[in-house]
Amino acid sequence: YKRLRANGKKPMVAIAAVMRKIVVTLNARLRDAMIPQS
């Protein structure tokens, strides 16, 4: 977030980017956790 702000991003844009990154990471973990069960 701080790096994005330093690059001149608006606060909302930086927050949205961080949240999107977190969601992608969580989705990847969930997907990887489901694979062995199937």
**In this structure, what is the dihedral angle of CA atoms 11, 17, 23, 26, given to the nearest 10 degrees?**
-110
Query: Which pLDDT band holds residue 38 (cuts at 50, 70, 90)?
Result: low
The span from the first CA to the last CA of the chain, in angstroms, equals: 37
| 9-33 confidence digits (pLDDT tens) | 788 888 898 899 999 999 999 888 8
Distance between CA atoms of residues 3 and 30, nearest Å: 27
Task: Flag whether pLDDT at 34 surpasses 70.
Answer: yes
At residue 4, the 3 state secondary structure works out as helix
> Which runs of E-coded beta strand occur in 1-38?
none
Residue 23: its pLDDT value, please? 94
CB 12 within 8 A of CB 4: no
Task: Flag whether pLDDT at 37 surpasses 90.
Answer: no
